[in-house]
Amino acid sequence: MMKTAIVYYSMSGNTKYVAGKVAAAAGADLVEIAPEKKFPAKGLRKFLVGGRSAVTGATPALMPYEFRPEEYDRVVLAAPVWASSPAPPMNTFIRDNGEGLRGKKIALILCFKGGGGDKAAEKVKKLLGIDSFEAEMTLVDPKKNAGYDVDKQIAGFVKKITE
């Protein structure tokens, strides 16, 4: 059986919510990444600082986390979308683990309130140097919109990564 890690960053809890549901259904390990210096979580500063960091492709220093790529066959990356880009902590994770991720099955989960999921997914592919993901899921505000539709999307994603 393939061993799967779900590596996620979550600011408002949406990505954490989805990563937890996918991990539970797929029997995957959860690896949370977080920046050493938290991004502003509300108000105008949230959009100015977070948006600027996302647009510039910032790679903030991360808090220590446990992840050994050689232990996994598949890695699911899960992040919020900020300004049509993956949230900056994911950029750092990919930069720091790019070599270890080579040759793995890679899937992607993106959560957002606005849009830009397609552009963010393309940026992640470019960072990884790959053409496509094993599976891909984008969810709009999944905690707020929790219910049948979100659960159905998650179940479909889990099926793709566990077959």
Q: What is the CATH number of the domain that holds 59?
A: 3.40.50.360
E strand or H helix at 106 = strand 105-112
**pTM for this structure?**
0.96
Cβ-Cβ contacts under 8 Å for 106 (sequence gap 6 or more): 74, 75, 76, 77, 128, 130, 133, 134
Q: What is the mean pLDDT of residues 94-107?
A: 96
What does DSSP assign to residue 49? H
The answer to whether 111 and 103 have CB atoms below 8 angstroms apart is: no
Domain count, the chain: 1
Domain that holds residue 23: 4-162
Above 90 in pLDDT, residue 135? Answer: yes
Above 80 in pLDDT, residue 1? Answer: no
Helix (H, G, I), strand (E, B) or coil at 78: strand
Structure confidence at residue 163 (pLDDT): 85
Structure confidence at residue 9 (pLDDT): 98
Structure confidence at residue 41 (pLDDT): 87
State the chain's mean pLDDT as an integer: 94
Q: What is the mean pLDDT of residues 28-55?
A: 91
